[in-house]
Amino acid sequence: MPQTKELASFIASSRLNDIPRDVIHEAKRSLLNFVGCAVGGSLEAAVETAIRALSPYSGERLAQLLARKEQFDPLYASLINGISGHVYEYDDTTPMNYIHPTPPVASALFAYASANGVSGADFLHAFLMGFETESRIGNAIYPAHYEAGWHITATAGVFGAAAGIGKLLSLSIQETVWAIGLAATQASGLREMFGSMAKSFHAGHAARNGYLSAVLAKSGFTAGEHGLEGPRGFAAVLASQYDLSKITAGLGKDFQIRYNTYKPYPCGIVVHPTIDGCIDLYRDFRPSPESIKSVRVRVAPLVLDLCNKREITQGLDSKYSIYHSAAVGLVRGKAGLQEYSDEAANNSLIRRVRERVTAVADSSITEDQSHIEVELENGQKLSRFVEQSLGNLRKPLTDRQLEDKFRDQATGRLPGTQVDRVIELCWQLDTVQDVRQLIKGTIPNGV
């Protein structure tokens, strides 16, 4: 059976009872992490600007935005939720394909749920269908697709949103095939946009377009039957090399959400091992910023590919800078939201150290590793080799660490009772009667 149809059959016929408990729990972890990111990112300029620009075009305002007082129609709500959830670069990552998987899917589902009312169980199920869809499509085209310059979170994410909304709309197999085709033909998003507002737009764009694909398919709007595997379909056109068997092998057994990871730092994931090592050195030696003569890091080549920004004037730039990230670890011993703010980007001590960092790509270093050598003005040398970075699959954040991350992002945004309530609702999502309870909890003074 062609992959598009086999995937569509799986989505249309899946039942929540068939899904293992550990998979459901990982979905809750992913959603807690995502909701925290949306709360944290909800006041960013990209979000404010999108709300201002799109407001005149909103349809009936049936959907409450996450973590904001405004309502939009559910398609634009998907788009704006996606920007909020991705803008902080603090969202989840599946290391096997570098997708940030939850924002495109969950942004659409929360918008749908707000407008229509959905039980927590149905929400989790739809979320898992979307997650599985985008992850498997991503696996099939990674790494050629990503290396070519596609922002895979957007290009694979649109399928996830289509699958998730399609499940909530109870699309038939044929309708799901069309929804996948419509998603394929809307798949877009260039890595050239990294460092601008357009990057976070990608997650929202994927959510909105995937949602639209499902809505159109439900109405009988047709698409090609072979959106994924056809000779001019998604894989052939958007990847120079691909393996379509990854879309369907082990479907329904090998759930991809088991490979999801959560960032401890709000910046490009590939710089995380370097941050771990720099924080370690800070803890062990507390070198004063003025004492640092040079910092030399050896990292996987992808790090320089993704996070090579040297000219930094604002927080957004700093998220893609191995230089800034090493500097904040050494100067402040942490790399939280404050360390990627405009203030930190322009802080003279951080800048001083940042300018002394050099980075070398070394193909013998994996993407989980980093080698750091600091030379002090007095000639002393400090070094650290990081083997596994915090938050990766072998060293995952615990449920408690995820709660702490949520609290960090929600502090100052939500009253403490709401923070507790949202965490509790996430862990109990499979028994929540209406997901609007959770959405309401994310709105400042919304409960």
Residues binding a second copy (CB under 8 A): 46, 49-50, 52-54, 56-60, 73-75, 148-151, 154, 178, 181-182, 184-198, 201-202, 205, 215-216, 218-224, 226-227, 230-234, 236-237
> Residue 394 CB, nearest distance to a second copy (Å)?
30
Cβ neighbors of 360 (< 8 A, separation 6 or more) are: 296, 297, 298, 299
Q: Which is nearer to a second copy, 147 or 399 (CB)?
A: 147
> Residue 169 CB, nearest distance to a second copy (Å)?
11
> Residue 160 CB, nearest distance to a second copy (Å)?
16
> Residue 199 CB, nearest distance to a second copy (Å)?
9
Q: Which is nearer to a second copy, 150 or 255 (CB)?
A: 150
> Residue 190 CB, nearest distance to a second copy (Å)?
5
Contact (Cβ atoms closer than 8 angstroms) between residue 41 and residue 88: yes
* CA nearest neighbour of 160 among 142, 140, 141, 187: 187
* Amino acid letter, residue 121: A
Q: Which is nearer to a second copy, 223 or 267 (CB)?
A: 223
Q: What is the DSSP track for 366-406?
A: -TT-EEEEEEETTS-EEEEEESS-TTSTTSPPPHHHHHHHH
Contact (Cβ atoms closer than 8 angstroms) between residue 246 and residue 136: yes
Q: Which is nearer to a second copy, 231 or 412 (CB)?
A: 231
3-state secondary structure labels for all residues of 25-61: HHHHHHHHHHHHHHHHHCCCHHHHHHHHHHHHHCCCC
> Residue 201 CB, nearest distance to a second copy (Å)?
7
Q: Which is nearer to a second copy, 26 or 89 (CB)?
A: 89
> Residue 424 CB, nearest distance to a second copy (Å)?
33
The residue assigned the tokens 């409960």 is 447
- Going from the C-alpha of 54 to that of each of 47, 75, 183, the distances in angstroms are 10, 11, 22
* CA nearest neighbour of 446 among 43, 65, 37, 35: 65
Q: Which is nearer to a second copy, 73 or 375 (CB)?
A: 73
3-state secondary structure of 351: helix
Q: What is the DSSP track for 142-185?
A: TTHHHHTTB-HHHHHHHHHHHHHHHHHTT--HHHHHHHHHHHHT
The phi and psi torsions of 374 (rounded to 5 degrees) equal -110, 130
3-state secondary structure of 312: coil
Contact (Cβ atoms closer than 8 angstroms) between residue 84 and residue 65: yes
* CA nearest neighbour of 403 among 421, 388, 415, 386: 421
> Residue 191 CB, nearest distance to a second copy (Å)?
4
> Residue 16 CB, nearest distance to a second copy (Å)?
27
DSSP assignment letter at 322: H
Q: Which is nearer to a second copy, 172 or 185 (CB)?
A: 185
Q: Which is nearer to a second copy, 232 or 400 (CB)?
A: 232
Q: Which is nearer to a second copy, 46 or 257 (CB)?
A: 46
